Structure 1
Amino acid sequence: MLDYSKGQVVISKAGRDKGKILIILDTRDDCVYMADGKERKLEKPKEKKKKHIQITNYIDNSLLQKLENAEKINNSDIRKAIEKYMIAMRG
């Protein structure tokens, strides 16, 4: 069973946003709610079935901590977490 965690970076496998990098904000049953801080903002997260996303092993710890503690996050936090992921993947 795959583990879907708040703050985890995922890649869309289907739909108009195929190939886009997003961050999980919340999970419910077979769906996840995600944002990228640009096109898909926190105010209107993308709902997608779990089977339509590819999870990565990357979780932004500072973002995860804020999400778990119900602290305020903004779209800039999401964009920075995605940037960190991109840098980590480049090596």
Structure 2
Amino acid sequence: MDNTLGLLKGQIVRSKKGRDEGKVFVISEVIDKDYLFLVDGKLRKLDRPKKKKVKHLYIYNSFIDLDVKDLNDSYIRKKLLPYS
């Protein structure tokens, strides 16, 4: 999959290229057909997401609910813990 057609906000992904190779992220926003904003709650927080190409990611079929009332970085870290 080299485009964002089937990807949704809250979906879990893992980086396969770059300095962050092997790290697990959650999609915070779909920018266009090639790029996403990713957060992990630790190094890439909600206020400073990472812009990454879809072709550099492994896509999981798991989701995290990002529509909670008090969304913060701690919540994201706890939800991503089983995937690390």
Band the TM-score falls in, shorter-chain normalisation: 0.7 to 0.9
Name segments (4+ residues, structure 1) moved above 2 Å: none
Q: Percent identity?
A: 45
Give the counterpart letter for 1:74 in structure 2. N
More helix by proportion, 1 or 2? 1
* 1:59 matches 2:56: no
- Provide Cα deviations, 1:38-71, integer angstroms capped at 9, x if missing partner: 01111110000111111100112x32xx17xxx5
Unaligned runs of 5+ in 2: none
Matched ranges for 1:37-76 at <5 A: 37-60=41-64, 62-63=65-66, 66=67, 71-76=69-74
User: 2:15·2:58 contact (CA, 8 Å) conserved in 1?
Assistant: yes
Q: How far apart are residue 72 of structure 1 and its match?
A: 4.8
Unaligned runs of 5+ in 1: none
Aligned-residue RMSD, C-alpha: 2.0
